[in-house]
Amino acid sequence: MKRLIGIAGMPGAGKSAIFEVAPKFNIPVVSMGDIVRHETLKRGLELTPENVGNTAVELRKEYGKEAIAVFCLKYIEEKYKDEDIVIIEGIRSMYEVDYFRKHYPLTIVAIHSSPKTRFKRLKKRKREDDTSEWEAFVERDMRELGFTIGNVISLADYMIVNEEEDYNTYLKNLENVLKKIISSWEKENSGEPGGI
């Protein structure tokens, strides 16, 4: 039975660190943000914060509030049909959570960082859809919160705080949480008590 691990967090919280940790477990990672960026480009739009944000909103208008999850799951079932575990980076709404859970067991890991820390990181990161303006950053946060990402974070199965501490410590924490999830599934499968 395929199982999903969802990584949730506000922009700049440190979700993409999962791409560094997952290979240690041979688990593929699919980014929901990449799916939105891909759709933005397909619509002939430049990758700006505004265009990517608007594409996410448009997709939800066209296909329902779980739209990105629909595209994401289709991609997973085509590309990773033989994988037992797939990590989904960037879950943003309870509608997406519910959609994934209708099809497969899903465990949510939330990454939390303060707005100031996240803003500093985004300015440093300089991805096409990032902003270096505080007002635009707050606007993006509000849009994300409008997708009900706050509910996903507060109802997560695991929470990792990623503030100013050493990056390697954060990676280690992420790795430990993945180990816990995998071992609880193994216990569950063997019938031992202690599964999630």
> Is 42 within a domain?
yes
Is 44 annotated in a binding site? The answer is no
8 A C-beta contact, residue 8 and residue 109: yes
CATH number for 165:
3.40.50.300
User: Residue ranges of the alpha helices (H) in 64-133?
Assistant: 67-79, 94-103, 115-125
Mean pLDDT over each residue of the chain, to the nearest integer: 91
% residues pLDDT > 70 (the chain): 96
Domain count, the chain: 1
> Is 115 within a domain?
yes
> Is 187 within a domain?
no
> Is 57 within a domain?
yes
Amino acid 192: pLDDT: 60
* Residues 112-127 pLDDT 10s: 999 999 999 988 887 7
Closest CA to 12 of 88, 107, 116, 97: 116
Is 14 annotated in a binding site? The answer is yes
> Is 192 within a domain?
no
Closest CA to 167 of 115, 128, 113, 116: 113
Amino acid 193: pLDDT: 59
DSSP state of 87: E
Residues 6+ apart with CB under 8 A from 10: 112, 113, 115, 118, 141, 144, 149, 153
Is 105 annotated in a binding site? The answer is no
Is 10 annotated in a binding site? The answer is yes
> Is 196 within a domain?
no
Distance CA 3, CA 182 (A): 10
Amino acid 194: pLDDT: 53
* Residues 126-146 pLDDT 10s: 777 677 889 989 988 998 888
Is 64 annotated in a binding site? The answer is no
pTM for the full model? 0.86
Is 9 annotated in a binding site? The answer is yes
> Is 18 within a domain?
yes
The larger pLDDT score, comparing residue 49 to residue 99, is at: 99
> Is 194 within a domain?
no
What is the residue range of 146's domain? 3-182
- Quickly state the pLDDT bin for 104 (edges 50, 70, 90): very high
